[in-house]
Amino acid sequence: MWYAIYASDVPDSLGKRQQARPAHIARLQELAEQGRLLLAGPFPAIDSEEPGPAGFSGSLIIAEFSSLQAAQQWADHDPYMAAGVYASADVKPFKPVLP
């Protein structure tokens, strides 16, 4: 089943994000290679695709896992969580409808 992981950043997370990004992206790439990643990306803190020093306010990941517990465990072990980028990561079942 698909699950949406909605993660919220701590204030002023940009430096921590930049440092942990390679490990975070590598983990997402694993899901993509397994055909289990629908989408992933950050929420710019301002209305811009490139927010510069304003940074990001969180992330959305939609991926396939065997259970809600497995998805939550995956989210809890994300490099951004370990680096203190994310304040929290909420996981909910997700049902793709369109396109």
Instruction: Report the pLDDT value the prediction gives residue 16, as an integer from 0 to 100.
Output: 98
pLDDT digits (tens, 9 = 90+) for 14-50: 999 999 999 999 999 999 999 999 999 999 999 999 9
How large is the average pLDDT for residues 57-83? 98
Kindly tell me if the per-residue pLDDT of 82 is higher than 90: yes
Question: Which residues are CB-neighbours of 6 under 8 A, at least 6 positions away?
Answer: 58, 59, 60, 89, 90, 91, 92
Kindly tell me if the per-residue pLDDT of 87 is higher than 90: yes
Q: What are phi and psi of 77, to 5 degrees?
A: -105, 15
Q: Band the pLDDT of 99: cuts 50, 70, 90.
A: confident
Query: Strand 2-9's sheet: what is its strand order?
Result: 37-44, 56-64, 2-9, 86-94
Instruction: Report the pLDDT value the prediction gives residue 64, as an integer from 0 to 100.
Output: 98
Instruction: Report the pLDDT value the prediction gives residue 75, as an integer from 0 to 100.
Output: 98
